[in-house]
Structure 1
Amino acid sequence: MYDLPPDLDRLRTLWTWHTMWAERIEKEIKKKEEEQRAEELKAQRKAAATPDWVVELGIGQGAPAVDVHIGGCHMAGKRRQTINRDEAIQLISQGVNACTHCRPDTELGLLE
């Protein structure tokens, strides 16, 4: 077991050193807690911002629908538009491709 020094000067030095480190550790803990809260808030916002269904559009003005995707599918391109469930069913029924990665046709109950 570790013994403490017998004299007051060294005891005060140890106390100062430990207090300093405790404060540094406390600041770091608060910083990490704030970072964690910020990440959780960012994830919540992202989840809230993710639509249920999207349609990927072709190039040009009045571009035709190319593929239907589940909202969070990373295969959907940058040219996309949010749609609702009924629109997704209608588009797939009209022959618009269902993404082979996220399988919106299965999710919509069109395939089993």
Structure 2
Amino acid sequence: MNDKPSRLDLLHFARRVVVQQATAALAQIDGWIADEERRDAERRQAEERRPPPPAWLIQYGLNRANLDAVHLGGCWAAAKSGRCRPVSREQALDALRQHVTPCVHCRPDTELGVLD
């Protein structure tokens, strides 16, 4: 009696091992894909739910009492300062009329039609 497996038996065994490993690897990759698709969907939903940026901003001084500048809502300089609050168009106009400095980068005075 021959206890040694035939070459054909060994090849069939090797194929079953490769199929098993490939199936496990594909399941892992499919899990990664599902996780990434879920994260992308969450990011899109968060962007859709995000309120629109304010149209006008007032930048306050370090002591939060002085008004330093008027900005457009999407101004990068306003975002960088971290001391801005959203205001209405009328409040932005009023601040400019009271000689609060308009931002030199986003030029809210031009957008509002207030020229010196």
Name stretches of at least 5 consecutive residues in structure 1 with no aligned partner: none
What amino acid sits opposite 1:38 in the alignment? E
Q: CA RMSD in A?
A: 2.6
Question: How big is the shift at 1:108?
Answer: 2.4
Q: TM-score, normalised by structure 2?
A: 0.71
Q: TM-score, normalised by structure 1?
A: 0.73
Greater Cα offset, 20-29 or 68-77: 68-77
1:25 to 19, 26, 29: 29
Partner of 1:65: 67
From the two aligned structures, give the one with the greater helix fraction.
2
Name stretches of at least 5 consecutive residues in structure 2 with no aligned partner: 1-7
Partner deviation per Cα, 1:3-34 (whole Å, 9 max, x = no partner): xx994322222211211111011011112122
Question: How big is the shift at 1:103?
Answer: 1.6
Question: 1: distance between equivalents of 2:114 and 2:16?
Answer: 75
Question: 1: distance between equivalents of 2:62 and 2:13?
Answer: 78
Partner deviation per Cα, 1:42-97 (whole Å, 9 max, x = no partner): 4445x516322110112436x23110011232312232221011211221132211
Question: 2: distance between equivalents of 1:107 and 1:44?
Answer: 27
Q: Aligned pair 1:91/2:91, yes or no?
A: no
Aligned residues: 105
Percent of residue pairs identical: 30
